[in-house]
Each structure stands twice: as C-alpha cells, then as structure tokens.
Structure 1
Amino acid sequence: MSEPVAAKVLVVEDNRTMLALMQYYLSKDFTVFLARSAEEALEVLQREQLHAVVSDQNLGDGLMGVDLLKRVAELQPHAARILVTASTKLEDAQKAINEARVNHFLTKPFTEQELKNTVGQAVHNAALLSIRDKMVQELKEQLGLRPGTAKPAASKPGSPLSTRVKTVEPRPPEVKGTSQSLIPESERLAFRDGLTGLYNHRYFQEALSAGLVSARRREQKLALVLVDVDGFRRFNLSRGYAEGDKLLRRVAQLVTDLMEDPVTHARSDNSSEIAARYDWDVFGVVLCNADVERARLYADKLRKAVEELDFPEGSGGAVGEVTVTAAVAVFPDQARSEQDLISAAEKALRTSKPSGPNRVVLATKG
C-alpha cells in the first residue's frame, strides 16, 4: 500500500527568519515550497499544482499579499488561500474576501498550533471543494450537460432520463429534542453541519444561550462538554481525508447515541439539549439540568465507546487506535455566563494535552 502524498503548500514571506520558521513548523506534515516575493511565488505556481498558498500581506516588492492571492485564485482556483496579516480592520478582511476570495486568515502574532490548524483546515476544505466540483461535473456529464448547452427539458416520470441518475441523501445522526416535522427543510440545512449531520457552530451558540436562560430561570445546572478527537490531524495525514471524514461521522453518531438521562435511560425532550460540531475535530454537547457527575458519566461513557471503536469498521485490529479527550464545565459551578463557560471548557482541553490523550477533564472555576 503506497504512502499518501503530502499536500503541497506554498509559503510566501519576505522575512527570511519568519519564512524558515514557518517551513520548520509545516514541513513535518506538508510538502512546503518557499518564496520571498510575488515573482518567486508565481514561478512556483507555474510548475506545481498546489493545495494551499500562505502569503503575508506585506511582501515588500510593491505587490500586496491580497494581489498575489487574487492571481492564485485565477491560476489555481482549487488551492486554498490563506492571508497572514496584522490588520484587524473589517474593511481589510472584506477586500481580501471580495477581491482575492481569501478562504482563511492568520492574524499576527500566531502560534505554531494556530499555523498548523489553519493550514490543515484550509487544505481539508480545499480537498472537499475539489471533490464536490468533480462530482458536479460527473453528474452534468451523466445528464448530458455541456458548457454552453441548454438544460435538458424535464422528462416524464419513468422516462430514461428521469431514472438515469439517482441521488441518495445520507441520513444524519439523530439529534435530540427537536421536532423535525415542524422545521422547514431549508432551515434545518442552515443549522446543520454538512459532514456529520449534527448542528453547526452557529446553532450551538443559540442553543447554549437558550439553555442558560432556562437554567437561570429554573435555578438548574447546565453542563457543557467539549469532545476533542485525539490526534485527528495526524490521522487525516496518514489515512487520508476520506477516512478522516468517516471517522468524524462515526464519532458524531456515538456522541448523540449516548445522550440519555442516566436514570430513565431515555432521551430528553429539551430543545436546548443538543450535540453540535463545535470545531474541525471538536464536538460540543449541551446537557440541561445536568450536574458535574452526570456530565462526567456521559463524557466517560463516550470516551470508552470511542476507545472500543473498531475503525475502520470490520478491520478487527484497530480497537483503541481512536480516542477522544472530553472537557466538562458546569453552570454555575465553573462559570455564570455563556462565554465564560466555553472558555472554561476550552482551557480544560488545552491544559490536558501534556497529560496525554484519552481522558475526561473537569474545568476549574475562573
């Protein structure tokens, strides 16, 4: 079995020290090309098919990073475009997005982990877009569509054209507490993560806010659990993004399957109690009327279920290869506001890293 080809990343930076540092950080996971000017960068673009371009905004040769990334969008539209900048002005970001179709921003100063996460996510997203475009093109070809041709007329039910292509929508994991029949399809899709079927980050924030309002009014506790897939970036790089996506979907299913009341073993009907895709490889779970013990039991049950996961399924020898670390923060024990609760859980995840993977950690107050 051949080794997967590392994604090709071009880094453009006129400062030698910064260029060498970024190369050192990224070369462990990617094939890195370096350029100290827009001219050198364009030469690389002519000879290499890239997965991502990371460019500083100030290149020092009269051409700005936005201008270079605009050329990247024209020459290699499927390559992810990352702008490194010290500016936090909204108008600068709008210009970068509108003119250069910049996908990601990296704000100075940044850490090694921020650089790796940003580039990794950008490469992953670019790969998904490329796959999507290929699928769309294949579908058009199956339907007999060509550039510049008119859309074929609607066929009668049962005709060869109407049955030529069959699309099956993947069924998302069951999510607790929402009457699906009462929500329009377009609204459900707007709140869903396309990969896992869980709620997305936007809806997660809304549900957490609603849950805290209810907890305050009823004088109840509320638990937030953040679940981080250990070593997911390495898994993606070694197994490939398709397998990484399958793994996220499998973990997402376990996240929702295990959300039940420890006494009744039944799912709650509270609409604010949800599971969501919080970040690239992190899931967020909101448990209403849950103290630290209930949340810890849920997190540990999930940790054990993932540890016992045979992935890829049916391989027989992969049990224990995939693990998660879960952080638990409870309102009002550790925090009394939405942001403080999130910060407490995120901090618990970060500080747990030196102790190793596959564990449940409890947030501390303040």
Structure 2
Amino acid sequence: MLALMQYYLSKDFTVFLARSAEEALEVLQREQLHAVVSDQNLGDGLMGVDLLKRVAELQPHAARILVTASQKLEDAQKAINEARVNHFLTKPFTEQELKNTVGQAVHNAALLSIRDKMVQELKDQLGLGRGAAAKPAVGKPGAPAATPRPKVAEPQKIDAKGAPSQSLIPESERLAFRDGLTSLYNHRYFQEALSAGLLSARRREQKLALVLIDIDGFRRFNLSRGYAEGDKLLRRVAQMVTDMMEDPVTHARSDNSSEIAARYDWDVFGVILCNADVERARTYAEKLRKAVEELDFPEGTGSDVGEVTVTAAVAVFPDQARNEQELISAAEKALRSSKAGGPNRVVLAPR
C-alpha cells in the first residue's frame, strides 16, 4: 500500500516515505512539509492519531491526513480533538480520492503559509520581532504558489484540510491581509491566493473560477448619499458576497478555506471558486446579483429596493485563460464590456 501511494503521489509531489513512526519523526525534524499522511494502525501498538499529534506540535501548518477503515463517529472525533485531523481517507480509496485529498491539503497549507508570511511582515514593520507564527509551512518561505513540487511526508498515509493556525493573532491577521472596511481579504492576499489556487488546479486537473463583482453607480451613490452611507453599502454587499458562497448541492455555507472573497478594488469584489466550472460560477454570480437587486438599502425603509445593483463577470481556468494574468485580464475585460452594455448583469468572458 505504501509503495502504491508513493507511486501515485510522486507524480505531483516530493514524497518522503517512512515505514515507521520513528522514521516519520526523523523526516519531520529535517524537512518542512506541506502534509503528512498516516495510517491509523502503524503496528507495534502505535496509532496514527498519536503520530499526528506530534506532527501538530512539530509542524503545526502541515496538513494532517488520517487513513482509516473505521467509520465510527467517536473515532473521528478523537482524531479531530486530539490530533487536529481535518481530512480522512477511508479504506478502500481510489487513486483520485488520494490525489484530491492530498492536493486540497497541500493547497490549504500553502494558503496558511501566505497568511503567516504577511502577518510576519506586518510584525517586522511594527518592530514586534519574529514570533511563532512566522515559521513557514513550505519549503520556500513566502512563495508557496511558486513551489512546483510540494513535499508530502507519507509515514503510512494521511489527510488534512489545513485548519486555521491557532498561533495567528487576530489583530495581526486583520491588519495584515484583511480589508479594514469590509473585513474581506485584501487585494494582495487575493493575488497570492489566486496563484496558489491555480497551481493546485493545474496539479489536480480541475477548473477554477474567478468572479469580479462591481457595484453599479457607486460613485454616484457616494455623491448623493455621502461617504458614510457608501461605506455602509460596501460592508453590506461584502457580507452578501460571502453569504452566497454555499455548497450548490447541500446549500450549506461553504467552509472551504481555499475559496476566497476579497475587496479587489474600491467598489469591486473578487471571488475565487476552486473546482468550479462556468455553470457553478454563473449560478453564484446570478444568485448574488438577484439578492443585491432585492436589497432594501438603507435597510428597513422599503422604498429603495432595486436602487443598488451589481454587475458580475466570470472567467474560468483553463477555459478562458492559461495563467493568472490571463484569467484576471479576461475577467476585467468582460466586466468592462458588460458595464458598457448596461448595469445589473452577469457576463461570461469569451473563450
């Protein structure tokens, strides 16, 4: 099983194979890893959860993936509570399930590394020195999106989603990569996350959708209502942008940390939808457009429904673009052409 997993994963990742918990810990001491995959039964009475506990201590940003034959809820709860395991691979699993699980884990670990890098830069600017959150989770500090073959430790199989790091200080996080007005991600983090997302999409042969949302007539709104009301409107639409990011099947709010909503420009929001084709992206954009059109703003008056609208543009990798700049350019061009044709629309970038 180990050799087979190594064969499948080594096509896309640098894999360190460990045949015991001791070997795995040796790898952890000398290598910075994106993810660790461990079987629950390591032999000699050792359990994968115990190994992943040590992983959480030694490399908290490395994704932790547990391979198990158990489907008991109490076993999963123990793994989550004790080892902060976020992903599980249930035996038997397919090659695609293995690749998808590890790929998502590595992607989320890269995003955490980006966040830590930005937080540390802010701390350095403020003269706060280097804290625990500065330790990079990838081999090349500050450039996870450019790392072509992330490292995956495979002591005997693992899964992980990349839970938010508890070492991040909330205020530092907000200042480093959150927009001060809307609390969405800022433009710089958005660009970093898009690079990481495209790298993951290429590796996993998946699509990635970029949606740009522009508030129609926002400058005119500011002049007529005042900048204070304009700020309120930005915050309200920003909240709707995130509220609409739900699972298309279950209609539950998405907790996928790799799906990003950001303040892209003054009155423009950007949304990254991972593993999303044009139909899913268009459905999201149309749902948001309709919700904003029905917005009563200022809320509670009932007299201004329909006054606020948005125009959205959708571009999908690799359908309309081969790289980050082409994807952004396609979305921006589609947004400009849509605005010229009238407000309150959803437009798709041409192929």
Normalising by structure 1, what TM-score? Answer: 0.50
What are the superposed Cα offsets for residues 269-314 of structure 1, whole Å, 9 maximum, x if unpaired? 4332110000000000000000000000000000000000000011
Aligned partner of 1:352 among 334, 338, 342? 338
Task: Give CA-to-partner distance per residue, 1:225-275, whole Å, 9 cap, x none.
Answer: 000000000000110000000000000000000101101223444332110
Cα contact 2:174–2:180 (8 A) shared by 1 = no
- Which position in structure 2 is the counterpart of 1:289? 275
Residue 248 of structure 2 is aligned to residue 262 of structure 1: yes
Is 1:303 equivalent to 2:289 in the alignment?
yes
Provide the rounded CA distance (Å) in 1 between the counterparts of 2:165 and 2:215. 28
Give 1:212 deviation, angstroms: 0.6
Letter in 2 for 1:250: R
Structure 1 pair 206–361 and aligned structure 2 pair: CA distance change class (3 A): same
**Aligned partners of 2:243 and 2:253 also within 8 Å:** no
Q: How does 1:56-135 map to 2 (within 5 A)?
A: none
Residues 1:336 and 1:267: Cα distance change in structure 2 (over 3 Å) = farther
Per-residue Cα deviation, 1:108-162 (whole angstroms, up to 9, x for no partner): xxxxxxxxxxxxxxxxxxxxxxxxxxxxxxxxxxxxxxxxxxxxxxxxxxxxxxx
2:322 and 2:163 map into 1 onto residues whose CA distance is 26
Q: What does residue range 228-267 of structure 1 map to in structure 2 within 5 Å?
A: 228-267=214-253
SS of structure 2 residue aligned to 1:283: strand
Distance 1:331 1:256, change over 3 A: same
What is residue 331 of structure 1 aligned with on the other side?
317
Counterparts of 2:175 and 2:163 in 1: how far apart (Å)? 14
Query: 1 or 2 for the larger relative contact order (CA 8 Å, sep ≥6)?
Result: 2
Mark the runs of 5 or more structure 2 residues left unpaired by the alignment. Answer: 1-161
Measure, in 2, the Cα distance between the counterparts of 1:182 and 1:259: 27
Q: Secondary structure at the match of 2:213?
A: strand
Match for residue 278 of structure 1? Answer: 264
User: In 2, distance between residues paired with 1:262 and 1:238?
Assistant: 38
2:164 aligned partner, one-letter code: S
Equivalent residue for 1:215, pick from 201, 205, 219:
201
- Report the CA distance between 1:216 and its aligned residue: 0.7
Deviations 1:160-190 (A, max 9, x none): xxxxxxxxxxxxxxxxx97374532213321
Residue 209 of structure 2 aligns to a residue in which SS? strand
- Please say if 1:179 is aligned against 2:164: yes
Separation of aligned partners in 1, 2:331 and 2:303: 33
Distance 1:180 1:232, change over 3 A: farther
CA distance 1:313–1:341, shift in 2 (3 Å) = same
Query: 1:352 Cα deviation (Å)?
Result: 1.0
SS of residue matched to 1:325? strand
Indicate if the aligned counterparts of 2:321 and 2:330 stay in contact, CA closer than 8 A: yes
Tell me, what secondary structure is at the counterpart of 2:331? helix
**Partner letter of residue 313 of structure 2?**
A
Q: Deviations over 1:23-73 (max 9, x none)?
A: xxxxxxxxxxxxxxxxxxxxxxxxxxxxxxxxxxxxxxxxxxxxxxxxxxx
Q: Distance in 2 between matches of 1:292 and 1:264?
A: 19
Alpha-carbon distance between aligned partners in 1 of 2:165 and 2:227, rounded to the nearest angstrom? 30
SS of structure 1 residue aligned to 2:249: coil
> Could you tell me which residue of structure 2 aligns to residue 193 of structure 1?
179
Give the fraction of aligned pairs with identical amino acids, expressed as a percent.
Answer: 86
Change in Cα spacing, 1:243 to 1:291, as seen in structure 2 (3 Å) is same
Give the counterpart letter for 1:188 in structure 2: R
> Structure 1 pair 182/270, CA: closer, same or farther in 2 (3 Å)?
farther
Residue aligning to 2:300: 314
Find the counterpart in structure 2 of residue 129 from structure 1: none
| SS at 1:263 equivalent | coil
The reply to whether residue 226 of structure 1 matches residue 208 of structure 2 is no
What SS does the corresponding residue of 1:302 show, helix, strand or coil? helix
Q: CA deviation at 1:211?
A: 0.7
| Structure 1 CA distance for aligned equivalents of residues 304 and 349 of structure 2 | 31
Residue type at the aligned position of 1:298: Y
How many residues were matched structurally?
189
Counterparts of 1:288 and 1:267 in 2: how far apart (Å)?
A: 15
Query: In the alignment, is the contact (CA less than 8 A) between 2:215 and 2:268 conserved in 1?
Result: yes
Larger radius of gyration between Structure 1 and Structure 2: 1
Contact 1:208 1:272 in 2 (8 A): no
Q: Does the aligned pair in 1 maintain the 2:240–2:288 contact within 8 Å? A: yes
